[in-house]
Amino acid sequence: MFVNRITHLPILILSLFLSADLSAQTGSAPKWEAGINAGAYMYQGDLTIHPIGSKETIRQGAGISVTRIINRIFSARLMFNMANLAGDESIYANPKFRRHRNLAFNASVKELTLSFHWNVLGSGYEDAKYQPYVFAGAGASFVNVNRDYSRFDTSYYGPESAVQKGLAQDIATPTPHVLAVVPVGAGIRYHISEKLVLNLEGSYRLMNNDYLDGFSKSANTDMKDHYSSLTVGIAYKFGAKEKYGCPTVN
Protein backbone atom coordinates (compact mmCIF):
# COMPACT_ATOMS: atom_id res chain seq x y z
CA MET A 1 0.00 0.00 0.00
CA PHE A 2 2.81 2.43 0.93
CA VAL A 3 4.69 1.69 -2.32
CA ASN A 4 1.54 2.21 -4.39
CA ARG A 5 0.98 5.60 -2.79
CA ILE A 6 4.57 6.62 -3.52
CA THR A 7 4.22 5.51 -7.15
CA HIS A 8 1.24 7.83 -7.68
CA LEU A 9 2.70 10.77 -5.73
CA PRO A 10 4.86 12.28 -8.54
CA ILE A 11 1.93 12.15 -10.99
CA LEU A 12 -0.35 13.92 -8.53
CA ILE A 13 2.19 16.61 -7.66
CA LEU A 14 3.12 17.20 -11.30
CA SER A 15 -0.54 17.65 -12.30
CA LEU A 16 -0.97 20.19 -9.51
CA PHE A 17 2.16 22.08 -10.53
CA LEU A 18 1.29 22.20 -14.20
CA SER A 19 -2.17 23.58 -13.44
CA ALA A 20 -0.95 26.14 -10.90
CA ASP A 21 0.00 29.80 -11.35
CA LEU A 22 -1.70 30.32 -14.71
CA SER A 23 -1.66 34.06 -14.08
CA ALA A 24 2.07 34.28 -13.35
CA GLN A 25 3.98 37.18 -14.84
CA THR A 26 5.68 36.28 -18.11
CA GLY A 27 9.44 35.83 -17.90
CA SER A 28 12.23 33.92 -19.59
CA ALA A 29 15.09 31.69 -18.45
CA PRO A 30 16.98 28.57 -19.56
CA LYS A 31 14.66 25.61 -19.12
CA TRP A 32 17.26 23.08 -17.85
CA GLU A 33 19.82 22.81 -15.06
CA ALA A 34 22.50 20.18 -14.41
CA GLY A 35 23.99 20.00 -10.94
CA ILE A 36 26.31 18.23 -8.54
CA ASN A 37 26.15 18.11 -4.74
CA ALA A 38 28.01 16.76 -1.72
CA GLY A 39 27.33 16.69 1.99
CA ALA A 40 26.53 14.79 5.18
CA TYR A 41 24.06 11.90 5.62
CA MET A 42 22.59 10.87 8.96
CA TYR A 43 20.79 7.68 9.99
CA GLN A 44 17.70 7.80 12.22
CA GLY A 45 16.39 4.64 13.86
CA ASP A 46 16.68 2.12 16.67
CA LEU A 47 20.43 2.37 17.24
CA THR A 48 20.61 6.02 18.32
CA ILE A 49 19.35 7.89 21.37
CA HIS A 50 18.73 11.13 19.46
CA PRO A 51 15.27 11.76 17.95
CA ILE A 52 16.86 13.73 15.11
CA GLY A 53 19.29 10.93 14.23
CA SER A 54 22.75 9.52 14.95
CA LYS A 55 24.85 12.67 15.05
CA GLU A 56 27.93 10.68 16.07
CA THR A 57 27.96 8.50 12.94
CA ILE A 58 27.34 11.03 10.18
CA ARG A 59 28.73 9.85 6.84
CA GLN A 60 29.45 11.45 3.46
CA GLY A 61 27.53 11.39 0.22
CA ALA A 62 27.42 13.00 -3.23
CA GLY A 63 25.10 13.18 -6.19
CA ILE A 64 24.18 14.53 -9.61
CA SER A 65 20.90 15.98 -10.84
CA VAL A 66 18.98 17.28 -13.85
CA THR A 67 16.23 19.86 -13.35
CA ARG A 68 13.45 20.90 -15.72
CA ILE A 69 12.13 24.39 -14.96
CA ILE A 70 8.39 24.23 -15.55
CA ASN A 71 7.52 27.87 -14.91
CA ARG A 72 8.55 30.80 -12.73
CA ILE A 73 7.50 29.02 -9.54
CA PHE A 74 7.80 25.26 -10.09
CA SER A 75 10.47 22.82 -11.28
CA ALA A 76 11.00 19.06 -11.42
CA ARG A 77 14.31 17.41 -10.51
CA LEU A 78 15.68 13.94 -11.19
CA MET A 79 18.52 13.15 -8.80
CA PHE A 80 20.95 10.27 -8.22
CA ASN A 81 22.86 10.15 -4.91
CA MET A 82 25.46 7.79 -3.47
CA ALA A 83 26.05 7.83 0.28
CA ASN A 84 26.89 5.84 3.40
CA LEU A 85 24.95 5.42 6.64
CA ALA A 86 25.94 4.04 10.04
CA GLY A 87 24.77 3.50 13.60
CA ASP A 88 26.52 2.13 16.70
CA GLU A 89 25.08 1.66 20.19
CA SER A 90 28.49 1.25 21.84
CA ILE A 91 29.06 5.02 21.76
CA TYR A 92 26.25 5.65 24.27
CA ALA A 93 26.98 5.24 27.98
CA ASN A 94 23.34 5.88 28.88
CA PRO A 95 20.97 4.21 28.98
CA LYS A 96 23.21 1.34 30.09
CA PHE A 97 21.41 -1.35 28.11
CA ARG A 98 22.80 0.18 24.91
CA ARG A 99 26.34 -1.02 25.60
CA HIS A 100 25.07 -4.47 26.54
CA ARG A 101 22.95 -4.81 23.43
CA ASN A 102 25.81 -3.30 21.41
CA LEU A 103 24.22 -3.48 17.98
CA ALA A 104 25.75 -1.67 15.01
CA PHE A 105 25.42 -1.40 11.26
CA ASN A 106 26.74 0.34 8.19
CA ALA A 107 25.15 0.61 4.77
CA SER A 108 25.89 1.95 1.32
CA VAL A 109 23.04 3.74 -0.42
CA LYS A 110 22.36 4.45 -4.09
CA GLU A 111 19.30 6.65 -4.36
CA LEU A 112 17.22 7.69 -7.38
CA THR A 113 14.43 10.23 -6.79
CA LEU A 114 12.08 12.51 -8.68
CA SER A 115 11.05 15.62 -6.74
CA PHE A 116 8.97 18.70 -7.41
CA HIS A 117 10.10 22.11 -6.15
CA TRP A 118 8.18 25.24 -5.20
CA ASN A 119 10.00 28.56 -5.35
CA VAL A 120 8.52 30.10 -2.19
CA LEU A 121 8.91 33.75 -3.19
CA GLY A 122 7.62 33.18 -6.71
CA SER A 123 10.31 35.53 -7.99
CA GLY A 124 11.27 33.52 -11.04
CA TYR A 125 14.49 31.59 -11.62
CA GLU A 126 16.41 34.55 -12.96
CA ASP A 127 15.16 37.62 -11.05
CA ALA A 128 16.48 37.23 -7.48
CA LYS A 129 19.91 36.48 -6.01
CA TYR A 130 18.42 34.38 -3.18
CA GLN A 131 15.53 31.96 -3.70
CA PRO A 132 14.20 29.72 -0.89
CA TYR A 133 12.32 26.59 -1.94
CA VAL A 134 10.56 23.53 -0.56
CA PHE A 135 10.12 20.16 -2.24
CA ALA A 136 8.64 16.68 -2.06
CA GLY A 137 8.89 13.63 -4.26
CA ALA A 138 9.32 9.88 -4.46
CA GLY A 139 12.00 7.38 -5.35
CA ALA A 140 13.96 4.28 -4.44
CA SER A 141 17.06 3.60 -2.36
CA PHE A 142 19.20 0.62 -3.31
CA VAL A 143 20.96 -0.39 -0.10
CA ASN A 144 23.66 -2.83 0.99
CA VAL A 145 23.23 -3.33 4.75
CA ASN A 146 25.91 -4.87 6.98
CA ARG A 147 24.59 -5.50 10.49
CA ASP A 148 26.89 -6.29 13.41
CA TYR A 149 25.69 -8.15 16.51
CA SER A 150 29.08 -9.68 17.41
CA ARG A 151 29.33 -7.67 20.64
CA PHE A 152 25.86 -8.63 21.92
CA ASP A 153 26.09 -9.42 25.67
CA THR A 154 24.45 -12.82 26.18
CA SER A 155 25.27 -12.74 29.89
CA TYR A 156 23.15 -9.59 30.27
CA TYR A 157 20.38 -10.74 27.92
CA GLY A 158 19.59 -14.37 28.71
CA PRO A 159 18.25 -16.87 26.14
CA GLU A 160 14.69 -16.33 27.38
CA SER A 161 14.85 -12.55 27.17
CA ALA A 162 12.69 -10.75 24.62
CA VAL A 163 15.78 -9.01 23.22
CA GLN A 164 17.72 -12.21 22.49
CA LYS A 165 14.63 -13.87 21.02
CA GLY A 166 14.07 -10.78 18.91
CA LEU A 167 17.68 -10.82 17.76
CA ALA A 168 17.26 -14.41 16.57
CA GLN A 169 14.27 -13.27 14.47
CA ASP A 170 16.25 -10.33 13.07
CA ILE A 171 19.17 -12.56 12.08
CA ALA A 172 16.75 -14.82 10.23
CA THR A 173 15.21 -11.86 8.39
CA PRO A 174 17.03 -10.81 5.19
CA THR A 175 18.07 -7.19 5.04
CA PRO A 176 16.33 -5.10 2.36
CA HIS A 177 17.93 -4.31 -0.98
CA VAL A 178 15.42 -1.77 -2.35
CA LEU A 179 13.49 0.70 -0.21
CA ALA A 180 10.75 3.10 -1.31
CA VAL A 181 11.49 6.63 -0.09
CA VAL A 182 9.63 9.94 0.03
CA PRO A 183 12.15 12.82 0.12
CA VAL A 184 10.87 16.08 1.61
CA GLY A 185 12.89 19.16 2.42
CA ALA A 186 13.84 22.76 1.86
CA GLY A 187 16.76 24.77 0.57
CA ILE A 188 17.98 28.11 -0.67
CA ARG A 189 19.52 29.00 -4.02
CA TYR A 190 22.05 31.77 -4.69
CA HIS A 191 22.73 32.99 -8.21
CA ILE A 192 26.46 33.42 -8.79
CA SER A 193 25.88 34.45 -12.39
CA GLU A 194 23.35 34.08 -15.17
CA LYS A 195 24.40 30.46 -15.66
CA LEU A 196 25.63 29.25 -12.24
CA VAL A 197 23.61 28.69 -9.07
CA LEU A 198 24.75 27.60 -5.60
CA ASN A 199 22.34 25.84 -3.27
CA LEU A 200 22.15 24.65 0.34
CA GLU A 201 19.58 21.92 0.96
CA GLY A 202 18.25 19.76 3.78
CA SER A 203 16.33 16.59 2.89
CA TYR A 204 14.54 13.99 5.01
CA ARG A 205 13.59 10.55 3.64
CA LEU A 206 10.36 9.02 4.87
CA MET A 207 10.27 5.22 4.67
CA ASN A 208 7.95 2.43 5.78
CA ASN A 209 10.66 -0.05 6.75
CA ASP A 210 12.38 -0.96 10.03
CA TYR A 211 15.37 -2.88 8.64
CA LEU A 212 17.55 -0.14 7.21
CA ASP A 213 19.84 -0.82 10.20
CA GLY A 214 19.27 -4.60 10.08
CA PHE A 215 17.41 -4.76 13.41
CA SER A 216 13.78 -4.50 14.46
CA LYS A 217 12.48 -7.24 16.79
CA SER A 218 15.47 -6.87 19.11
CA ALA A 219 15.03 -3.10 19.26
CA ASN A 220 11.88 -1.01 18.67
CA THR A 221 9.36 -2.45 16.23
CA ASP A 222 7.13 0.62 16.53
CA MET A 223 9.71 3.05 15.11
CA LYS A 224 10.56 2.94 11.42
CA ASP A 225 14.02 3.81 10.13
CA HIS A 226 14.76 6.97 8.15
CA TYR A 227 17.71 9.06 7.02
CA SER A 228 18.42 12.67 6.19
CA SER A 229 21.04 14.79 4.47
CA LEU A 230 22.46 18.30 4.43
CA THR A 231 24.19 19.13 1.16
CA VAL A 232 25.71 21.97 -0.81
CA GLY A 233 25.69 21.98 -4.59
CA ILE A 234 26.21 23.92 -7.76
CA ALA A 235 24.06 23.87 -10.89
CA TYR A 236 24.63 25.06 -14.45
CA LYS A 237 21.74 26.43 -16.50
CA PHE A 238 21.56 25.40 -20.13
CA GLY A 239 19.22 25.17 -23.08
CA ALA A 240 17.36 27.84 -25.04
CA LYS A 241 15.55 30.45 -23.00
CA GLU A 242 11.86 29.82 -22.65
CA LYS A 243 8.97 32.09 -21.71
CA TYR A 244 6.98 31.11 -18.61
CA GLY A 245 3.58 32.15 -17.40
CA CYS A 246 0.62 33.41 -19.42
CA PRO A 247 1.01 36.41 -21.73
CA THR A 248 -1.50 39.24 -21.52
CA VAL A 249 -4.50 38.77 -23.82
CA ASN A 250 -5.80 41.96 -25.46
User: Which residue segments constitute the domains of the chain, with CATH numbers given?
Assistant: 2-17+31-244 (2.40.160.20)
Average pLDDT over the chain reads: 87
Q: Which residues contact 123 (CB under 8 A, 6 or more apart)?
A: 72, 131
Q: How far apart are CA 191 and CA 187, in angstroms?
A: 13
Q: Which amino acid is at 202?
A: G
Q: Which helix (H) or strand (E) holds 208?
A: none
Q: Looking at 5-14, 114-123, 178-187, which range is the least confident one? A: 5-14
pLDDT number for residue 185: 98
In whole angstroms, give the CA distance from residue 211 to residue 196.
40
Would you place residue 247 in the very low, low, confident or very high pLDDT band (cuts 50, 70, 90)?
Answer: very low
pLDDT for residue 15 is more than 70: no
What is the percent of the chain where pLDDT is above 90? 74
Dihedral (Cα; 102, 208, 14, 202), 10-degree rounding: -20
The span from the CA of 84 to the CA of 107, in Å, is 6
Is residue 245 over pLDDT 80? no
Q: Which of 92-96, 107-111, 126-130 has the lowest mean pLDDT?
A: 126-130
pLDDT value at 2 more than 70 = no
> What SS3 string covers 8-30?
HHHHHHHHHHHHCCCCCCCEEEE
pLDDT band at residue 207, thresholds of 50, 70 and 90?
very high
239 contact partners, CB below 8 Å, separation of at least 6: 30, 31, 32
Mean per-residue pLDDT for 200-219? Answer: 97
Q: Which pLDDT tens digit goes with each residue over 72-83?
A: 889 999 999 999
pLDDT value of residue 121: 86
238 to each of 68, 69, 78, how far by Cα in Å? 10, 11, 16
Report pLDDT for 27.
Answer: 52
28 has pLDDT over 80? no
Q: What is the mean pLDDT of residues 241-248?
A: 54
CA–CA distances in Å: residue 101 to residues 85, 125, 156, 164: 20, 51, 8, 9
pLDDT of residue 150: 97
Q: Is the model's pLDDT at 229 over the cut of 90?
A: yes
